[in-house]
């Protein structure tokens, strides 16, 4: 098929590359000229395992192309994916201006039947707004042209997005249009060979499914963090509790790891947007409000533990962070706990050293060059020199079994704040270090 993807951010680029890998002719459109020029050279604006080679190979095979010409994209694609950003507005709702700008552009250029697919995470009712916008522009042009609007939300985990797209656990297609459904089934047939993964439903249900999925996962995280904070006060070990409840198949082990909060481009934004949607519908979503409040507080826990250890005086001290990205295998620092930790330390007069294998460039983009920030992507032990304490923020695999003796010898201080509970408290203490976990 000829496919157009408008927006080459995280979702759009993964979608375009994976569809091209299956033999489709994909044209990706973006209004950022420098980004498009970089993509044409095989230079990616994001880090995602396996994506760079996928883009380069399919570009070389001429199945994947990039342009700033949206008219060319609308002319090319039988199916047009809208994958532009929906940043949070000041009130927490999703800002649809970019989605609706694309819809207007489609209406201005479309001359024959197209399937318009909302791939961006959007509130319930967005597909209706897209349909209305396209139709109003067509009416202004005096053009009669059939089109369908389909909701096809993405369920991609950063750090495993290519794998998730190529081997999906479900493919949600929201439409009541049989013609559009047939086209979407044909498009996704190569991803559906092992067993039936397509789940069809009405458009509002498809839009709500995406938000509900992320809100449920965020709820599990905040609930476990709530229990971790309680465990500390009761003298229990949340890791033992986690194993005990995870053995129940109704609960399972996924997303019940306590820590220093969730971040990224999805959970924080989507929980806030869903809460706003509920409010607009006249419903007070109290659980969503609590999920967000618990997560906001949880990001403060590492520095609170550090401050308690030093009797509230962090002035003039230096602390090391292991991990900057909000999760492993990505360089994404949007709403990352590390940002709360770093900025809290600065407010208390401390300096920061940080190691992350891929996110230091992003940290430099966010914070610029500062005397109180040293970044390192080569050696996690180098940033321990002259440090008064170590805060483990991101659970990169390299941090699961560090040389604790070397940590103790290199670091000036002797305290470790394990914000992800991945170290053995006994091993840390055996190395002569003081250990603080979450709920332990």
The catalytic site residues sit at: 266
Q: C-alpha distances in angstroms, 411 versus 302, 346, 373, 384, 416?
A: 18, 20, 17, 5, 10
Residue 100 CA to residue 108 CA, distance in Å, equals: 12
Distance between start and end Cα atoms, the chain: 54
- H helical segments located in 30-96: 33-40, 51-60, 70-76
- Helix, strand or coil for residue 180? helix
Residue 354 CA to residue 343 CA, distance in Å, equals: 13
Residue 434 CA to residue 428 CA, distance in Å, equals: 7
CA dihedral 225, 257, 425, 241 (to 10 degrees): 80
Residue 114 CA to residue 147 CA, distance in Å, equals: 5
- Helix, strand or coil for residue 199? strand
Residue 360 CA to residue 204 CA, distance in Å, equals: 40
- Helix, strand or coil for residue 256? coil
Residue 361 tokens, joined: 């460039």
Helix (H), strand (E) at residue 197: none
């Amino acid at each position: 098929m000829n496919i157009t993807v408008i927006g080459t951010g995280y979702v759009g680029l993964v979608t375009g590359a994976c569809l091209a890998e299956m033999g489709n002719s994909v044209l990706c459109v973006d209004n950022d000229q420098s980004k498009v020029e970089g993509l044409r050279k095989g230079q990616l604006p994001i880090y995602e395992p396996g994506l760079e080679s996928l883009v380069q190979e399919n570009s070389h095979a001429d199945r994947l192309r990039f342009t700033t010409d949206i008219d060319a994209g609308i002319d090319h694609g039988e199916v047009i994916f809208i994958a532009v950003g929906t940043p949070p507005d000041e009130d927490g709702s999703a800002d649809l201006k970019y989605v609706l700008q694309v819809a207007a552009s489609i209406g201005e250029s479309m001359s024959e039947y197209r399937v318009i697919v909302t791939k961006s995470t959007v509130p319930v009712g967005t597909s209706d707004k897209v349909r209305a916008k396209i139709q109003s522009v067509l009416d202004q042009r005096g053009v009669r042209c059939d089109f369908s609007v389909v909701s096809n939300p993405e369920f991609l985990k950063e750090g495993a997005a290519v794998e998730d797209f190529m081997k999906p656990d479900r493919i949600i297609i929201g439409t009541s249009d049989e013609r559009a459904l047939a086209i979407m089934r044909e498009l996704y047939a190569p991803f559906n060979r092992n067993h039936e993964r397509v789940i069809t439903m009405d458009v509002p249900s498809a839009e709500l499914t995406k938000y509900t999925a992320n809100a449920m996962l965020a709820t599990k995280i905040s609930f476990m963090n709530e229990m971790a904070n309680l465990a500390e006060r009761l003298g229990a070990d949340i890791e033992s509790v986690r194993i005990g409840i995870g053995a129940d198949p109704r609960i399972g082990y996924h997303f019940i790891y306590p820590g220093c909060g969730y971040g990224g481009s999805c959970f924080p934004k989507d929980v806030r947007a869903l809460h706003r949607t509920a409010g607009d519908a006249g419903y007070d979503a109290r659980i969503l409000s609590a999920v967000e409040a618990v997560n906001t507080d949880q990001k403060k826990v590492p520095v609170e533990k550090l401050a308690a250890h030093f009797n509230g005086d962090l002035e003039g001290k230096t602390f090391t962070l292991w991990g900057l990205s909000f999760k492993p295998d990505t360089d994404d620092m949007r709403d990352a706990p590390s940002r709360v930790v770093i900025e809290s330390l600065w407010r208390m007069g401390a300096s920061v050293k940080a190691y992350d294998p891929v996110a230091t460039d992003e940290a430099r983009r966010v914070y610029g060059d500062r005397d109180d920030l040293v970044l390192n992507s080569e050696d996690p032990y180098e940033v321990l020199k002259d440090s008064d304490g170590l805060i483990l923020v991101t659970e990169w695999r390299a941090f699961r079994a560090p040389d604790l003796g070397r940590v103790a010898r290199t670091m000036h201080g002797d305290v470790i704040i394990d914000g992800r509970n991945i170290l053995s408290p006994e091993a840390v203490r055996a190395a002569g270090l003081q250990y603080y976990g979450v709920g332990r």
